[in-house]
Structures are given as C-alpha cells and as structure tokens.
Structure 1
Amino acid sequence: MDELADLTETLVAIPSHEDETAAGDAIAEWLRAETDARVDRDAVGNVIAYKGATDDPDADTLAFVGHHDVVPPADRQTAGDGNAGDYVVNRRDGRIYGRGAADMKGAVAACMLAFRDAEPPAGRELAVASFVGEEVGGTGARHAIDEGFVPDRAVVAEGSTDYSKPGVTDVAVAHKGRRASTLVASGTAAHASEPAAGENAIYRASDAIDEVRGLDAPESTVFGERVSGSLAVTMVHGGETWNVIPERCEVTIDERTVPGDRADIGRAADAVEGVAWEVDQDLPPMACGDDAFADAALAAAREVHDDLGLDAPEHVVKPHATDAGWLAEAGADCLVCGASEPGEAHTDTESVGIDVLERCYRIYRAIADRE
C-alpha cells in the first residue's frame, strides 16, 4: 500500500515536538480532501472527524484514536534546528525511519485511511481523532473529553514499544497507569554541631520511605489475568550544605497503577510527623469493560493475521499509560492496538515496518465494518 507509506512519510517529516500545529493542519486537510466527513479542529489543536450515522441520536460511536505530537528528536533526526527544519525521513528495507514513525504517526496514517475506506453498518457513527499533548500527560485528550468527545468505544492505535510480540499485532484490553508523587518532609534547621536543636527532615523522610517499602503494590484482574503494578522510590533530595540540619527533604515515588487499585501512599505521610504527600501526575490505567467489543476486535485481528499467514494475536496487557486511560475514565470502552514493535518508540533510530502499518490498517477496517 504505497498510499499508506507515502502518508506516513508526509506526517513524519513535519516537526511536532514543540508545536503540533503544522502536523494537525496536514491531518485536517487530508481528511477534508479525501472524505466527506465533518472535520473539527478544536482550540488546542486536536483533529476530530465523524462520518456515518452522524444525525442519529441513538447511533453508537466507534473512534480510532491517535496523537500527532512526538518526543523531541535526536540531532540525526532533524534536517535543521528543531522546528526550523523538517524531520529526516528515510524508507529502506520495508521500513520508514524518522521521529514519530512508530509512536505514532504511522498508526495515525493507518487510522485515517481506514476511516476513509470503512463502510460502517447502519446505526454506527465512525470517528477518527488525533490528539496533541499525549507525550506530556494527555493534555489534548483531556481537552477533547471536556468538550464532549467520549465515544462509546475506541481503538487507541498507540505505537509505543513492546506490548505486542514480534511479528504480531496484539490487542491490549488493559494498561497500567502512572502516578508520580512526592513525600515532602519538613523539619527545623539547626547547626550540625547541635543536631538536637533541630528536627532533621532527612530522618523524617527516611522513616516515610520505610513506610513506603512496607506498602503493597497495586494488583488487579483483567480478562482473568493478574495485572501487577509497582511502587518505587526513585529520587531523594534534601539538605543544602554539610553543616546544617536540613529543614526539607523531598522523596519522589513512581507508582504504576492498575485498574481498580492503587497503593496507599497517603499512609506513609500520616504515619510520620512533619511529612505531607503531593501528587504531581496521575495518568489513569485502562481496562476494557465491553467483553463483546474486545472479543470482536480480537476476532478481526486474527482474521487478518490468518490471511497473512502470521501467528495469531492475543489479548494482552500493556505496561504503559496512553490516552485510552483518559477516555476510559470518561466512560468509553477502549482497546489499544497499534504498530508496537520491540525497541522502536522514542529511540534515535525510530522506525516502523510498512507491513505492520498495513496490518494495522486492515485490522482497523475490519473492526469498523464489523456488525
């Protein structure tokens, strides 16, 4: 499918790590030129298009969801200085190389073509959405949700690394979330020659860390499989000079949350005098609540794989958070299915297999057309 590879190259070449405007313009212009869909561009730069039963108040909405922002490129991935020059794109040996090829402009291109070509059954509204700000906490997805974008079901075509087996496009029915938080220990400064005259914030932080080490990591069950989160202290910062009892110490905690469970980090703050708990970022987990949707998507994926002579895909759990978490929290039933290949996303040699994108396109079309 040369059209898919060409569209991927066009999107990948457009810088979008600091300003997603040009990439969003290209997506919106293509949708207006290639489809009869209603194409909306919101205040933050999201692109959302609808077709099918758009005037039916009882229509059920299926959305293909991606994002066109990317992480900052390596020097070798730019033809100029940051957003002043296009990204470098190369096609060789059946792959497209460039920042955002895997995560996730290739999958966005597959969604756009599947949206154009699909013939959804009566009573189904089909949408395609490409968000900004996914790489910085889902700012675009949250804005779209606040403005009313909550489809009944969504296939999030995330291209991040390592949730599918090599050579297979699996269907993720759940993913972990991430909560980043800080325990702030406050004390009283004093000269280090008289430690009893102060309250050592580092000691208080150490006591709080011991409490964290005793907490259970979150766990859940999704589609009969145990999903285990994690909890780890990742940074400690306290004190300003060698001869002063520190009056402040901060402890950074990385927690991978799971659907329905979180660690009781607040208990560590409650247990130690002078310690407060602050949540810095909370990316929600996701679990698909519609078994029929999950099974139908897997059946569609298996038909495509069987037709191509490939090993059968499976329901899997993705270890990383995506915009599916925000959509699920708002009430959409979500799955994640995209061009996930080992060791590609966010690397300075990022690439995507053209055959993988074509497989994704066929899966998305099959899901959209299914009764």
Structure 2
Amino acid sequence: MPMSASDIQLDLSQDPVDLTRALCDIESVSGNEGPIADAVEAALSRLPWLTVTRHGDSVVARTELGRDERVVLAGHLDTVPLAAEPNLPTWYEGDLLYGRGTCDMKGGVAVQLALAAAVPEPSRDLTFVFYDGEEVESARNGLGRISREAPHLLAGDFAVLLEPTSGLVEGGCNGTLRVDVTVHGKAAHSARAWMGRNAIHDAQVVLGRLAAYEPQEVEVEGLVFRESLNAVLINGGVAGNVIPDRCVVSVNYRFAPSKSVQDAEHHLRELFTGLDVVLTDAAGGARPGLDQPMAKAFVDLIGVPAGPKYGWTDVARFSELGIPAVNFGPGDPLKAHADDEFVPVQEIRDCLRVLTAWLA
C-alpha cells in the first residue's frame, strides 16, 4: 500500500531518485494532497536558509539573500488517480522507476527539494513552489489560488516549471478549453420509440463534426504548436426502456497560444452552430517568450533548441503574472497519466545537475 506522510520523513540529502520514490509512495491523488504537503513542509522547515509558507495544501519556500534576480521553481504535488491495477507503491525495472507520479511530476518535485537542500547560497534568490490541484479543473489549482490571494509569494524574474520534458526545454504551452454540447430529444417508452426522438442517436451530429474536423498546426514565435479537438465524455439515457431525451458530449479543445480563451470559445461555438454549447472550464495558453534574456540563457545552457509544449501547463499562470517561464523536467511527457507511467532515473539526476550548475 502507498505510504502516508506519518510513515516517512523525507531525507532531502539522499539520491534524488530515492527521494522521487519516497514522494510517489505518499499517495496524493488530487484532493488528497494534505499528507504530502505536510511532509514537504516539514522537510523544508528544517532548512534554516528558507522562509517557508503554507497556503492550503501548497507550500512555498524562499531564500531572502538580496540577490539582483529571483528564479521561481514550481511543481505540483497531486497526481491523476491510480490505475485499475494500482501502480503504487513504486518499483524498478532496470534504469526505469515505475509508478503513479514518477513522470508527472514527482521526479521534478524531487529535483526541487534536492536543490533547495543542496544550494543554501544560490547565485540568484530562489522561490520553490509545491502546489495542489493541478490535475483537476482550473478553479481548484493551487498555483492559481496563490496568484489570486498571495501573488507576492510568486514574484520573480524567471520561472522554471519542472513538468516532464525529457530534460529538454519546452517553451509556452497550448491553452485548454472544455464545453458540454447538449443534444435534446423527446422521451418515450422504448416499445413505442416512434413517439419520441432519441437524443443519443442525434449526437451523431456532434460526433460527425468532430470526426471531420482538421486540427491546425500554428507557428508562434518560431515554435509550431499542434492543436487537437476531441470528445472526451458522453452522457445520456435514464433507463433501459426509455428513449433518451438528452445527450451531452463533453469536448476538449487544445488551442495554440496565439489564441485567447475568447477566440477558442468563439471557434467552438461556430463549429457547433445550432447546438446547445456551455463552457465548463478554460485556461489560456502561454506564448514561448524565449527571446527574454533569462529564458534565452537557460536554453543556451541546455545546449539543445527548445520545442513547444503541446499540453497545458502552469507556465500560463506565470505568463499572466508577467514572469517568463519554461517547462523543464525529467520524464517523457508521453508517459504522463499512463498506467505504466515511469521516469528514467538518469533524467532525474541530470536535471538536478543542470539546475545546480546554473544556480549554485
């Protein structure tokens, strides 16, 4: 069984791979981040060079050395639910560490914690942010909550979000938007179906438009962002002998950062003209911003050209605060949320080495 925070005390001086495993074995599916936030807060509070602030189930730790620049390093503590055959506790297969959260994104969180412990006098002031609610709807996002209620805790000149990128820099991110498209019919007894109108059958109008849709590839500041539009949920029917009078198709649109949320919503309302469309969740994307001096210097340090981030990440929130930000962390983003989620152990060590060299 996964460990609770009461079973383990985090040792921030250990190999970051072992620290990753310890973090993952504290189960923290969205909504249950309290135990891991307790463990992280307790570990950071033992470092006298950090000022530690608890904000709900988020933890912020800052150096206060009066440096000319401040870098924010951020990562979320929550994970998506466990697999049907639970993928915790973690296990090794060769040089890969398997289990929920290994890739998305407790490998990155371990790098943050190890860096906080190993670099008491960084070349720039550092802010470490560990937050809850990233894997659920935007309204529950801990980083968003801090930005609204205590934005001074996030102040900085540059931010690195340690989302999985296989140790490469990914600039910006797509926006994400969800709508419910409702098809209305008329209820009737299924033995007399001709007296009603089957809303589930009529949902083919929605599905047909989605199947015919051709997603765009949009170049933004030299990076090409791939969009996508998909039905992700469908709900209809009340009983096995009733013609359904309502069917709801939930649609997710991942749109390039050149579009605003309003642009994206308008696009979907045009696509589903004549249908009942309700916006249920939205978060804007972030332009790459790699021409900013600190971002450019960081990409040069990695030595490999940056790519785009197709998924939505919280670099968008930093962008809204006027802070240039990039994605950089261990783990293949294609394995995020997979039942066989894993992280190559060397990527964890390599990311820590790069950040330590940059900030020590």
Provide, for residues 252-301 of structure 1, a one-character-per-residue CA deviation record: whole Å limited to 9, x for no partner: 222111102236111245x31xx321122224322232512332111222
Provide, for residues 139-172 of structure 1, a one-character-per-residue CA deviation record: whole Å limited to 9, x for no partner: 212212112144342100013xxx54xxxx2100
Q: Is the 8 A contact 1:212 1:265 kept in 2?
A: no
Partner of 1:287, secondary structure, is coil
Q: Is the 8 A contact 2:258 2:287 kept in 1?
A: no
Q: Distance in 2 between matches of 1:31 and 1:172?
A: 28
- 2:256 counterpart residue number: 258
With the length of structure 1 as denominator, give the TM-score of the two structures: 0.76
Partner of 1:8, secondary structure, is helix
Q: Is the 8 A contact 1:208 1:268 kept in 2?
A: no
Provide, for residues 27-85 of structure 1, a one-character-per-residue CA deviation record: whole Å limited to 9, x for no partner: 11221213411011112x1011111446x8xx54311111121223347657xxxxxxx
C-alpha change, 1:347 and 1:219, in structure 2 (3 Å) is: closer
Q: Is the 8 A contact 1:173 1:294 kept in 2?
A: no
Provide, for residues 284-325 of structure 1, a one-character-per-residue CA deviation record: whole Å limited to 9, x for no partner: 3222325123321112223xxxxxxxxxx3301122222223
Match for residue 31 of structure 1 among 34, 44, 51: 44
Q: Distance in 2 between matches of 1:188 and 1:349?
A: 43
Matched residue type, 1:356: E
Q: Distance in 2 between matches of 1:75 and 1:239?
A: 26
1:86-105 matched pairs, under 5 angstroms? 87-91=88-92, 93-105=94-106
Q: Distance in 1 between matches of 2:148 and 2:323?
A: 13
Q: Is the 8 A contact 1:99 1:348 kept in 2?
A: yes
Q: Is the 8 A contact 2:218 2:224 kept in 1?
A: yes
- 1:306 counterpart residue number: none
Matched residue type, 2:73: F
Partner of 2:332, secondary structure, is coil
Q: Distance in 2 between matches of 1:98 and 1:189?
A: 46
Indicate yes or no: 2:165 matched with 1:156: no
Q: Distance in 1 between matches of 2:125 and 2:345?
A: 28
- 1:112 counterpart residue number: 113
1:281-320 matched pairs, under 5 angstroms? 281-291=281-291, 292-302=293-303, 313-320=304-311
- 1:133 counterpart residue number: 133
Q: Is the 8 A contact 1:110 1:357 kept in 2?
A: yes
- 1:225 counterpart residue number: 223
Partner of 1:106, secondary structure, is helix
1:181-196 matched pairs, under 5 angstroms? 181-187=179-185, 189=187
Shift of 1:130: 0.9
1:26-65 matched pairs, under 5 angstroms? 26-43=39-56, 45-53=57-65, 60-65=69-74
Q: Distance in 2 between matches of 1:21 and 1:191?
A: 49
Provide, for residues 176-232 of structure 1, a one-character-per-residue CA deviation record: whole Å limited to 9, x for no partner: 23222111233555789796x877756875556666667674553233132221223
Q: Distance in 2 between matches of 1:218 and 1:178?
A: 14
Between the aligned residues of both structures, percent identity stands at 27
Q: CA RMSD in A?
A: 3.3
Matched residue type, 1:30: A
Q: Distance in 2 between matches of 1:177 and 1:337?
A: 18
- 1:73 counterpart residue number: 82
Q: Distance in 1 between matches of 2:85 and 2:203?
A: 42
Gaps of 5+ in 1: 79-86, 303-312
Q: Is the 8 A contact 2:224 2:308 kept in 1?
A: no
Matched residue type, 2:269: G
Q: Distance in 2 between matches of 1:98 and 1:199?
A: 46
Matched residue type, 1:125: D
Matched residue type, 2:281: Q
Matched residue type, 1:144: I
C-alpha change, 1:233 and 1:71, in structure 2 (3 Å) is: closer
- 1:12 counterpart residue number: 24
- 2:7 counterpart residue number: none
Partner of 1:135, secondary structure, is coil
Q: Is the 8 A contact 2:225 2:309 kept in 1?
A: no
C-alpha change, 1:339 and 1:279, in structure 2 (3 Å) is: same
1:269-348 matched pairs, under 5 angstroms? 269=272, 271-272=273-274, 275-291=275-291, 292-302=293-303, 313-341=304-332, 344-348=335-339
The count of corresponding residues between Structure 1 and Structure 2 is 334
- 2:147 counterpart residue number: 145
C-alpha change, 1:92 and 1:241, in structure 2 (3 Å) is: closer
Q: Distance in 2 between matches of 1:214 and 1:96?
A: 40
Partner of 2:19, secondary structure, is helix
